[in-house]
Structures are given as C-alpha cells and as structure tokens.
Amino acid sequence: MKIRFLTAGESHGPGLVGIIEGLPANLPVDLKRVNHELYRRQQGYGRGGRMKMERDQVEVLSGIRFNKTLGSPISFILRNKDWANWTEIMSQGEGKEERVITRPRPGHADLPGALKYDFDDMRNVLERSSARETAMRVAVGAFCKELLYHFEIQIISHVLQIGPVKANMDVVQEMALREDALLKADESPVRCLDPQASQEMMAFIRRAKKEGDTAGGVIQIIAKKVPPGLGSHVHWDRKLDGQLAAALMSIQAVKGVEIGLGFKGAQLPGSQFHDEMFYDGSKLYRNRNNAGGIEGGMSNGEDIVIQIFMKPIPTLMKPLHSVDLRTKENFLAHKERSDVTAVPACAVVAEAAVAQVLADAFCEKFGNDTITDMESAFNRYKERIKL
C-alpha cells in the first residue's frame, strides 16, 4: 500500500480530521476543487436538516505549499457548525447527560457497538458510526482525484435506482459514456441520468418521508481512461477488484458491490459473458465490457464499471420495534434527525473510495516520490504497451 489515510471525529463534536500520506511531491492541488467535492456530497434530494446547516470546507494544516504537494502527509480539519448546539452534550470534560440513547435502531451500529465497547448510552457509538465521517472520505478522495486528473483519469457516479424506482438502463448507459456525464448527474437532485426516473425517484422519496420511512438504492461508478495493469494477479491482497470492493463496502450502509455485469453474469454461458478481443490494424479492442474493466485482479484498459447497493437508512421517523437496553422493556427504537435517503450523497462518497484505491494502485505501479518521475514512468509504460 502506497497511500494511507486516517480519519477522526464525531458527528456532533468540534470537527472532523483527516491525514493522507503517500501522494507524490509537486502534484498541483486545487483546493477549490477539493472543497467542491465536499459541496457535491452535501447535495441530494431527501437529505435532512443537518445539510442545510453545514458548509463543509477543509482547512489544510500541512503537506501543501504554493498550490503543490510537498510529499509530506497532508492533514486537514473540517469544523462542524452544529457543534455549537452540542458543546455540553459532547463535552470532553464535565457535561450534561442529555439525548441519551438506550433503544438501539435495528440496522444501525447501536446494539453491536454498545455490546462491544461496553456503553449504555449508544450516543457513544452513533457519533462515530454516523455517515458524517464520509465527509473526510470525500476529502481524502478529492486529493487522490487531483493525482488521477493529472493523468486524465475521470471518475463519475450516477444513481440507477432509489427504492423500487429504476432508471431506464438504455438511456443512462448511453449518457454515462458521454464527456459531460458527471455534470449531468450533478444537475439531477437524485444524481440520475434519466430525467423521467429522476422525477419518479423524488416522488417516491416524498412518499417515504410522509410515511416516516427511508429508502435505499443502487449506484453506478465508472472510472474512465484507467491504464491497464493496475492491481496484480500475483497475490490476493493486491487484486484491484478486491481492494475496490473492500473500500466501497466500508462506506456506511453499503451492502453490496458488483463489478461489470455483476450477478447478472451468473445466467450467461462463458461464450456470452467474456469480452472478445479484436485488432483493428492499430489497436486491440473488445466487443463489450462485461468484465467491468478488471480481469485477473488487474485493470485491462476498459472503463472500470461498478455497482453498489446502499441499504435504507436505519433511523426511521416511524421507528421499528426495539428493546430498551437499560430497563429491558419492549419499546420503539430511538428516533432523531436524519435523512430519508442519502443515496445521491453516497454516490459521491463512492467516487472518493474508488479514487483512493486507483490512486494507490497508480502510485504502486509508477512510484510516488515526485510527479515528474511518475510521469516518466507512466510515459515509458504507455510506450511499451502502445496504449
């Protein structure tokens, strides 16, 4: 592993902190672009009150000088505006025991976290398991995207399904290949490239909200212009698909990852599943991309295509059945401010996770001391394989 990162911070604490180590020196960094990624994560139809309050922006503490990386760890903080309302409840010294959580939400980290860490106030679990932490993943991913942009790699995401409402695959697959796909997805309040389905998804979210319910969905992430040979077949923990799946599954509420055609491939014979190769006189090409751009744990030069499933958020305004852990009485689960759906935001977080894994694999393949050495290694490689 060449790129490492740590995140810290509680959802209603003073702020979030991130450190990323391993990006090469002299990489141009546009902090406006980094903060724009944080803004993108805050969008999406169906989000709760918190996103109206916060204006997520990182303040960089180290690792960057004159708009370029130094090769040293980049560290940054993001202050929670909501902290002002939680100073006593989240105090690091004496404080107030208020908003105590004793009734675990089914599907949330509440119960296993309380048992594992010996807490009877599950606020101590919620504060860190909260998807607020994904703001830091997006910041880490945004720095990694700066490296990928430098080598013209683009990562896009769009929403395929929210609840039962599905996008028309013919419409979205064609649009996803266009240059402006990311901008078009950003323009939809649900990040869906099918305008008709976008409207239906929003109507579904409104219905779920009225019923005190939440909604999950399916997201597609595509990485374009990835060179072949990232990752490796030689050892299990170096396989690119394994690394991508682990990074994506570590995002709060993500419960499934498919590469390329995914589970639909189970019904096809090998002759229809695998992507045939042809030579057109100057370059090798394929008739399809069912492999999703990865063969043998390595990128193969095609677009990397991934789908992920995000489960519905477990905080319901019409709560499910639960048990009070202090009194052992049957009760309804804890309820507090939350989102009806965060699927569009999760798509932006997923882009960041993919960016981090690809940047790491890129550094492993081409070295990560300084950008000029990396460029020479990359150009030499392109020349050898005649990309």
| Interacting span for ligand EPS (CB under 6 A) from 159-167, 217-225, 336-344, 360-368 | 336-344
Nearest-approach distance from CB 214 to ligand EPS, in angstroms: 9
Which CB, 125 or 363, lies closer to ligand EPS? 125
Residue pair 7/133 in contact by the 8 Å Cβ criterion: yes
Q: CA–CA separation, 184 vs 200, rounded Å?
A: 17
| Interacting span for ligand EPS (CB under 6 A) from 113-121, 130-138, 321-329, 362-370 | 130-138
Nearest-approach distance from CB 130 to ligand EPS, in angstroms: 3
Residues 6+ away with beta carbon under 8 Å from 166: 160, 197
Q: CA–CA separation, 345 vs 175, rounded Å?
A: 20
- For residue 199, give Cα distances in angstroms to 173, 174, 193, 194, 313: 18, 19, 11, 9, 21
Instruction: Report phi then psi at 9, rounded to 5.
Output: 130, 145
How many residues at the interface with ligand EPS, by CB under 6 A? Answer: 15
Among 230, 305, 313, 325, binds ligand EPS (CB under 6 A): 313
CB burial readout 66-101, b (16+ within 10 A) else e: eeebebebbbbbbbbebeeebeeebeeeeeeeeeeb
| Interacting span for ligand EPS (CB under 6 A) from 199-207, 265-273, 332-340, 363-371 | 332-340
Q: CA–CA separation, 57 vs 215, rounded Å?
A: 28
Contact flag: residue 50 with ligand EPS (CB under 6 A): yes
Structure tokens at 100: 């105590």
Which CB, 102 or 130, lies closer to ligand EPS? 130
Which CB, 40 or 239, lies closer to ligand EPS? 40
Structure tokens at 355: 């960016």
Instruction: Report phi then psi at 367, rounded to 5.
Output: 85, 155
Structure tokens at 381: 């490689």
The answer to whether 296 is annotated as binding is: yes
Contact flag: residue 81 with ligand EPS (CB under 6 A): no
The answer to whether 312 is annotated as binding is: yes
The answer to whether 337 is annotated as binding is: yes
Which residues are paired to 286 by β-bridges? Answer: 277
| Interacting span for ligand EPS (CB under 6 A) from 125-133, 285-293, 322-330, 370-378 | 125-133
Nearest-approach distance from CB 143 to ligand EPS, in angstroms: 19
| Interacting span for ligand EPS (CB under 6 A) from 161-169, 304-312, 333-341, 374-382 | 333-341
Contact flag: residue 137 with ligand EPS (CB under 6 A): no
Which CB, 107 or 262, lies closer to ligand EPS? 107
Which CB, 315 or 322, lies closer to ligand EPS? 315
Residue pair 374/24 in contact by the 8 Å Cβ criterion: yes
The candidate with the shortest Cα–Cα distance to 306, out of 362, 357, 237, is: 357
Residues 6+ away with beta carbon under 8 Å from 9: 15, 16, 17, 78, 80, 132, 133, 136
Residue pair 354/244 in contact by the 8 Å Cβ criterion: yes
Among 132, 191, 224, 365, binds ligand EPS (CB under 6 A): 132
The answer to whether 252 is annotated as binding is: yes
Contact flag: residue 80 with ligand EPS (CB under 6 A): no
Contact flag: residue 339 with ligand EPS (CB under 6 A): yes
Contact flag: residue 158 with ligand EPS (CB under 6 A): no
Place of tokens 């081409």: 366
Residues flagged as binding site for NADP(+): 41, 47
Binding residues vs ligand EPS (CB under 6 A): 11, 48, 50, 82, 130-132, 134-135, 313, 315, 337-339, 342
Residues flagged as binding site: 41, 47, 128-130, 252-253, 296, 311-315, 337
